[in-house]
Amino acid sequence: MNQVSTRQLAEWLDDALQTQRFKDYCPNGLQVEGKDTIRHIITGVTASQALLDAATQQNADAIMVHHGWFWKNENPVLRGAKRQRIATALQHNLNVFGFHLPLDAHPEWGNNAQLARRLGFEPELNDDGTPVNFGPGDLVWRGRCQPCTLEELGRHIERTLGRRPLLLGDPGKQIRTVAWCTGGAQNMMEAAIDCGVDAYITGEASEQNFHMAHESSTAFIAAGHHATERYGIQALGEAIAKQFGIRVDFLDLDNPV
């Protein structure tokens, strides 16, 4: 079985995802150091205890996730579930990689890019072929979808993601232009309204999104934080497998949020 050194993989990932460009809420890259060489990686959305247990049962050398550890402003004390997660990684010499905003933003492997591909959105592109970004941190994408009503777009999202989205706005509203940012980006709706798109898609909703959707020309869709962020980490895993010839398996542990 092929293998790659942990250091070589970490350096390649930092370069490929341009992690140093981002002011993030957590460290990106290798968060917990384990074995020196890696033959098998388990990827998933979140570095939960369930994902760690699955990785150890499969004798994996690393896990790689979108939602890792050591978030800004969290309690730094290692106790309870947090202590158990870290103890599991250390006990089994398991490398833990996490990529948050760099994985959201990547033009090919990122969550926004992959969600657009699955939903059939056509991203708007700059002259150099890169996607048009706007909003806080330039994390929101915009583009076009197949013309439909808000209700029809909701049904399409439900069929594609396997989860019924929350639709805010007139169900009969015609949708042609869309903006999207996966995960918990409901606070970026104002940027989508200012951009003038027909609908804004993200993962979660807040109370004010209801009023914003009904008081503007932009509908709002909350399609699930987990549901919208399953695809970037899969694409990254496939890129790693292709680059280094090692085994990478994605594990989807369902989360209704």
**pLDDT tens-place string over residues 23-37:** 999 999 999 999 999
pTM for the full model? 0.95
List C-alpha distances in Å: 132 to 138, 150, 187, 195: 9, 23, 19, 12
**pLDDT tens-place string over residues 141-170:** 999 999 999 999 999 999 999 999 999 999
d(CA 21, CA 14): 10
Band (109; pLDDT cuts 50, 70, 90): very high
- Decide: 198 and 174 in contact? Cβ < 8 Å: yes
**pLDDT tens-place string over residues 162-200:** 999 999 999 999 999 999 999 999 999 999 999 999 999
